[in-house]
């Protein structure tokens, strides 16, 4: 029976056929479902009553979350059970709660579960000099007591430049839900598979999307900054989603999620919270180590190839430092210029050494065409120094000279001013430990062993409109969007893809495979210009097995080995 006939019959007898499991619902029952639930139910494309992993058009961790009995499909009952526990969806709106300086409180709904999220925003008045569609946007993530607010100095800089300012809180986190974390927002900004812990990152991204939709913000000039807890969130979010931001500025951040455990005993009050986030003692299982790595900026710093970073830190910061004995501004140095730092901590007589991770200075020195960064260290404790925002004279701190004023150190806002988002960069570097953080710019990856604290990574470089070089480590497949990458496949000019094993001495040592390792890899090429007739006419050489052709996709198996690059020619 056709869908059109089915709908006609449904209308005749006063029912609506919903596209999940051939369920019959009244119009009022269907309308009462949240938009997100209706969207999830719409994934059941074959209308058999179940949603398979192939039909599910969302992150894989969300599929596992909905598939409560873990049988490989999401039933209609499981969808109902999940959404019956969700909060009432919030309606995005500006509220009549204007504070000093024209700052407005607003609410918006989470795309994860419809929960009500909050924030504050300041919007400049339109002017001839700055048309509404051209306003840069600065989103700020607060520390423990300042979540959802815009600090006065941040607001003043935005007002001076006529930029939109936002303070994002996300949802309200109850104190003590993971043990005594010391403050109420311990889970803010996290990206975690447990829905009771992890929607915080998406809450922030949803807030930014809300502003881009409802206010005159420029998508290519969205900047993320944050202090302390928010500085950690800034690093995590920027490095997991580098194609969302023109630049980021972490201020006094914890660059390692477990820096408190590195320098203190497990008796510290915050320890139960850290254990809950890691689902155990970090280092005692691959999953706990993975959760620690994915919440710590230093383990993902390689992803900053196209992401400009400004790092501000105090030389007398007594809270955010990463060593057992206090060392001035060590925490800022270990992400920027000091490669001597190692993460070591003990638990019940066992020592866990997470080793050295690369600094921005090391990465930029080896790859001068990437890893743009600046920093400033001034004599201040655990706070945001106004000098970090507006810059200062060279005798007031340590940092990077302003390109146009050598006697001054560049501040975060002048640093922001010099950078815009590149949607289709020439080179993409991306590393991950899981299967739910896997996409950046014009490529996506699947790693060999997700959730085992064994990262996979790719570095892909567009060498010409007809040539792409790919280096891969611990991957099972790489998907390339040819249209977004602006790669051309024409009858007169073949497309060449050189694929080899990633060997990068200044990356995280845990990333490097053994020299003798070989990798079975699938290269997936996608393009909206692909038609079946065009795919049938293609000739492909260099594959290691049967090539598959699907709707607007070419799937090419490749065997990587230490002998050298594998060349694929498509014409």
Residues 558 and 568: beta-carbon distance below 8 Å: yes
Nearest to 358 by CA among 369, 374, 342, 344: 342
| Co-location of 176 and 229 in the same domain | yes
| Co-location of 275 and 406 in the same domain | yes
List, in order, residues 6 or more apart from 128 with CB less than 8 Å away. Answer: none
Residues 314 and 382: beta-carbon distance below 8 Å: yes
What pLDDT was estimated at residue 539?
Answer: 87
| Co-location of 216 and 355 in the same domain | yes
| Co-location of 411 and 442 in the same domain | no
- pLDDT band of residue 127 (cuts 50, 70, 90) is very low
DSSP-derived letter for residue 472 is: E
How far is Cα of residue 533 from the mean position of the Cα atoms in its chain?
Answer: 37
Lowest mean pLDDT among 50-54, 425-429, 449-453: 50-54
Does residue 422 lie in a domain region? no
Express each pLDDT in 502-535 by its tens digit: 887 667 766 665 555 678 899 999 988 887 667 7
Distance separating alpha carbons of residues 515 and 519, to the nearest angstrom: 11
Four-point Cα dihedral 543, 548, 551, 553, nearest 10: -20
What pLDDT was estimated at residue 303?
Answer: 95
**Rounded to 5 degrees, what are φ and ψ at 533?**
-65, -40
Is 266 or 99 the better-scoring residue by pLDDT?
99
| Co-location of 101 and 216 in the same domain | yes
Give the predicted TM-score (pTM) of the model: 0.81
Give alpha helix (H) positions in 225-303.
Answer: 229-240, 259-263, 271-278, 286-294
Domain tally, the chain: 3
Q: Over pLDDT 70: what percentage of the chain?
A: 72
Domain stop point among 385, 417, 449: 417
Q: Kindly state the average pLDDT of the residues 70-84.
A: 77
- Give exposure, 109-130, as e/b (b: 16+ Cβ within 10 Å): bbbbbbbbbbbbbbbbeeeeeb
Statement: residue 87 has pLDDT above 50: no
Domain stop point among 57, 84, 111: 84
Q: What is the mean pLDDT of the chain?
A: 79
Q: Over pLDDT 90: what percentage of the chain?
A: 39
Which two structure tokens, joined as six digits, stand for 37? 């639930």
Strands 475-481 and 519-526: parallel
Is 221 or 67 the better-scoring residue by pLDDT?
221
| Co-location of 74 and 105 in the same domain | no
What pLDDT was estimated at residue 226?
Answer: 94
Statement: residue 164 has pLDDT above 90: yes
Statement: residue 291 has pLDDT above 90: no
| Co-location of 440 and 457 in the same domain | yes
- pLDDT band of residue 309 (cuts 50, 70, 90) is very high
Does residue 461 lie in a domain region? yes
Residues 168 and 141: beta-carbon distance below 8 Å: yes
Domain stop point among 366, 399, 417: 417
- Return the top range by mean pLDDT from 79-88, 139-148, 422-431: 422-431
CATH number at residue 178: 3.40.50.1820
Nearest to 78 by CA among 93, 60, 57, 64: 64
Residue 549: give the domain boundaries: 427-570
Distance separating alpha carbons of residues 293 and 455, to the nearest angstrom: 10
Does residue 517 lie in a domain region? yes
Nearest to 104 by CA among 116, 118, 117: 118
3-state secondary structure 427-450: EEEEEECCCCCCEECCEEEEECCC
Nearest to 73 by CA among 81, 62, 64, 82: 64
| Co-location of 9 and 133 in the same domain | no
| Co-location of 281 and 144 in the same domain | yes
Nearest to 412 by CA among 310, 283, 485, 514: 310
**What are 401's strand-pairing partners?**
409
What pLDDT was estimated at residue 60?
Answer: 60
Which two structure tokens, joined as six digits, stand for 275? 């254990």
Residue holding tokens 């001495």? 505
Lowest mean pLDDT among 199-203, 364-368, 446-450: 199-203
Express each pLDDT in 323-346 by its tens digit: 444 454 456 777 887 766 555 555
| Co-location of 44 and 151 in the same domain | no
Distance separating alpha carbons of residues 475 and 559, to the nearest angstrom: 11
| Co-location of 265 and 148 in the same domain | yes
Q: 51: exposed, middle or buried (C-beta count within 10 Å: 0-12, 13-18, 19+)?
A: buried
Statement: residue 97 has pLDDT above 60: no
Q: Kindly state the average pLDDT of the residues 312-326.
A: 66
- pLDDT band of residue 121 (cuts 50, 70, 90) is very high
Q: Kindly state the average pLDDT of the residues 225-229.
A: 90
What pLDDT was estimated at residue 21?
Answer: 33
What pLDDT was estimated at residue 320?
Answer: 58
Distance separating alpha carbons of residues 215 and 196, to the nearest angstrom: 30
Statement: residue 41 has pLDDT above 50: yes
3-state secondary structure 364-424: HHHCCCCCCEEEEEECCCCCCCHHHHHCEEHHHCEECEECCEEEEECCHHHHHHCCCCCCC
List, in order, residues 6 or more apart from 122 with CB less than 8 Å away. Answer: 101, 102, 103, 104, 150, 155, 158, 159, 164, 165, 166
End-to-end, the C-alpha distance of the chain in Å comes to 42
């Amino acid at each position: 029976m056709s869908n059109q006939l089915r709908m006609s019959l449904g209308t005749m007898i006063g029912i609506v056929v919903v596209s999940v499991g051939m369920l019959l619902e009244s119009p009022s029952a269907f309308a009462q479902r949240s938009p997100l639930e209706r969207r999830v139910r719409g994934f059941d494309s074959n209308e058999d009553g179940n949603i398979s992993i192939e039909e599910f058009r969302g992150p894989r961790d969300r599929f596992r979350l909905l598939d409560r009995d873990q049988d490989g499909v999401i039933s209609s009952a499981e969808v109902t059970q999940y959404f019956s526990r969700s909060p009432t969806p919030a309606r995005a709106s500006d509220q009549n709660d204007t504070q000093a300086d024209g700052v407005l409180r607003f609410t918006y709904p989470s795309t994860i579960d419809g929960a009500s999220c909050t924030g504050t925003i300041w919007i400049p008045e339109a002017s001839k000099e700055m048309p509404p569609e051209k306003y840069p946007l600065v989103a700020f993530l607060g520390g423990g007591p300042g979540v959802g607010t815009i600090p006065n100095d941040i607001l003043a800089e935005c007002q001076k430049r006529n930029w939109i300012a936002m303070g994002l809180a996300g949802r309200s986190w109850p104190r003590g839900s993971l043990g005594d974390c010391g403050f109420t927002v311990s889970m803010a900004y996290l990206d975690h598979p447990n829905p009771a812990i992890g929607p915080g990152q998406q809450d922030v991204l949803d807030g930014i999307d809300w502003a881009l939709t409802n206010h005159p913000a420029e998508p290519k000039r969205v900047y993320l900054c944050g202090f302390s807890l928010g500085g950690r969130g800034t690093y995590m979010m920027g490095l997991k989603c580098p194609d969302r931001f023109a630049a980021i500025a972490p201020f006094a951040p914890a660059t390692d999620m477990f820096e408190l455990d590195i320098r203190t005993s497990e008796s510290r009050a915050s320890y139960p919270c850290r254990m809950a986030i890691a689902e155990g003692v970090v280092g005692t299982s691959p999953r706990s180590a993975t959760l620690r790595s994915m919440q710590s900026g230093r383990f993902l710093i390689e992803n900053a190839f196209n992401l400009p970073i400004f790092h501000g830190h105090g030389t007398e910061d007594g809270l955010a430092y990463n060593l057992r004995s206090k060392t001035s501004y060590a925490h800022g140095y270990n992400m920027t210029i000091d490669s001597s730092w190692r993460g070591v901590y003990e638990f019940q007589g066992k020592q866990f050494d997470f080793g050295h991770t690369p600094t921005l200075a090391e990465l930029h020195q080896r790859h001068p065409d990437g890893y743009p960064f600046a920093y400033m260290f001034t004599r201040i404790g655990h706070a945001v120094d106004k000098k970090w925002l507006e810059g200062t004279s060279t005798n007031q701190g340590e940092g990077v000279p302003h390109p146009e004023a050598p006697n001054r150190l560049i501040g975060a806002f002048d640093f922001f001013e010099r950078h815009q988002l590149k949607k289709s960069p020439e080179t993409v570097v991306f590393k991950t430990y899981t299967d739910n953080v896997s996409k950046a710019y014009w490529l996506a990856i699947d790693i060999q062993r997700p959730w085992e604290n064994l990262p996979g990574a790719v570095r892909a470089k567009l060498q010409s409109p007809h040539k792409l070089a790919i280096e891969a480590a611990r991957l099972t497949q790489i998907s390339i969007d040819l249209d977004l990458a602006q790669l051309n496949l024409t009858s007169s000019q073949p497309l060449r893809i050189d694929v080899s094993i990633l060997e990068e001495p200044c990356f995280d040592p845990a990333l490097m495979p053994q020299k003798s390792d070989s990798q079975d890899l699938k290269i997936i090429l996608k393009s909206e210009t692909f038609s079946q007739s065009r795919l049938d006419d293609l000739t492909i050489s260099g594959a290691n097995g049967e090539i598959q052709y699907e709707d607007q996709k070419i799937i090419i198996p490749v065997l990587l080995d230490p002998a050298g690059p594998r060349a694929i020619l498509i014409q």
